[in-house]
């Protein structure tokens, strides 16, 4: 069962969260309906971060999106600390800025030691302006323009290559400029998960990434392109996922392609595991904690590496 703070009822019969009784850093933000700092003050007003929501509405109008900085920072720290606990090798947490890309959010994620996933030239620009180092930015997307690829090449960010056209365009651009570009290739792992069909991304006929029957040819093409600095693989199985089992299977699939790349003569060093841990939208939702999700991914990755065998 999900552990939630106790509740109090206002004189008007409205159900609210009670004052926070447990340390914010120990609570997994994705398991709570409201931000970690949500409380009811002495005037029977809902507050977030110590500020009455009614006052925010007076100032900024309604509808209004409110993001609690403490909840965001707690999530960043929990991901980072869980990786240290459960994974023996090098590891980096990346914030997927498609969730919300603005200067403040990117700056907060960067200050907490996270890299940034971007999916457009605008998101790339925002992350850079927020002070995130280019080598900590990963450019995703299945329809990047030649202009966007040139921008990524110019600043030195990683590019997660999604299809043949993108691979060919990037090879031409980098070759013409005499530059090398660090790339990962996105693969379709063929793993199903229980989430809405619009946010499933790991099934074979997904519009994202290379199908399994294309990957060997892609790797051989990369091996012929000196301007493409192949670093490894990315795979993503979907968003708003409440089960851990699909993430148990994903590392094994990725490690097999890692070995194939080495067999072809490439030198991969990165396996980028993607897939959105669910959050609690309704009272009935019961997502696993950040710690449990990271533990599952790390345990599965270590086991897959040991079976290969390669170093985690």
pLDDT digits (tens, 9 = 90+) for 28-60: 999 999 999 999 999 999 999 999 999 999 999
d(CA 241, CA 280): 11
Using alpha carbons, select from 275, 289, 304 the residue that is nearest to residue 85.
289
- Give the tokens for residue 137: 């930015």
In degrees, rounded to 5, the angle at the alpha carbon of residue 75 between the alpha carbons of residues 279 and 200 is 40
Q: Please say whether the beta carbons of 146 and 174 come within 8 A.
A: no
For the chain, list the domains and their CATH numbers.
1-66 (no CATH), 131-307 (3.20.20.10)
CA torsion sign, 15 to 20 to 22 to 25? positive
pLDDT level of residue 247 (50, 70, 90 thresholds): confident
Angle between helices 121-129 and 146-155 (to 10 degrees): 20
pLDDT tens readout for residues 108-143: 999 999 999 999 999 999 999 999 999 999 999 999
Calpha distance 219→21 (Å, rounded): 53
Burial of 281 (0-12, 13-18, 19+ CB in 10 A): exposed
Tens of pLDDT, residues 138-194: 999 999 999 999 999 999 999 999 999 999 999 999 999 999 999 999 998 877 544
Angle (nearest 5°) at CA 1 between 273 and 22: 90
């Amino acid at each position: 069962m999900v552990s939630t703070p106790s509740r109090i009822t206002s004189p008007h019969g409205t159900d609210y969260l009670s004052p926070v009784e447990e340390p914010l850093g120990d609570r997994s933000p994705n398991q709570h309906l409201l931000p970690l700092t949500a409380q009811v003050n002495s005037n029977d007003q809902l507050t977030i971060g110590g500020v009455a929501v009614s006052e925010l509405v007076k100032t900024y109008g309604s509808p209004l999106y409110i993001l609690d900085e403490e909840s965001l920072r707690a999530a960043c720290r929990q991901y980072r600390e869980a990786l240290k606990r459960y994974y023996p090798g090098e590891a980096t947490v990346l914030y997927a800025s498609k969730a919300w890309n603005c200067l403040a959010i990117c700056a907060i994620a960067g200050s907490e030691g996270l890299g940034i996933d971007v999916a457009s030239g605008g998101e790339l620009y925002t992350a850079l302006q927020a002070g995130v180092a280019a080598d900590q930015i990963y450019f995703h997307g299945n329809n990047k323009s030649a202009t966007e690829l040139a921008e990524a090449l110019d600043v030195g960010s990683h590019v997660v290559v999604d299809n043949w056209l993108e691979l060919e365009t990037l090879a031409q651009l980098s070759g013409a400029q005499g530059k090398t570009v660090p790339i990962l290739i996105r693969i379709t792992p063929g793993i199903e998960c229980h989430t809405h069909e619009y946010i499933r991304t790991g099934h074979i006929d997904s519009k994202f990434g290379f199908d399994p029957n294309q990957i060997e040819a892609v790797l051989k093409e990369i091996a012929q392109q000196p301007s493409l600095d192949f670093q490894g693989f990315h795979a993503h199985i979907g968003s708003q996922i409440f089960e851990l089992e699909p993430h148990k299977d994903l590392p094994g699939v990725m490690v097999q392609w890692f070995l194939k790349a080495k067999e072809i003569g490439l030198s991969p060093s990165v396996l980028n595991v993607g897939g959105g841990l669910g959050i609690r939208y309704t009272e009935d939702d019961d997502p696993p904690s950040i710690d449990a999700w990271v533990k599952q991914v790390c345990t599965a990755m270590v086991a897959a590496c040991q079976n290969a065998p390669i170093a985690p």
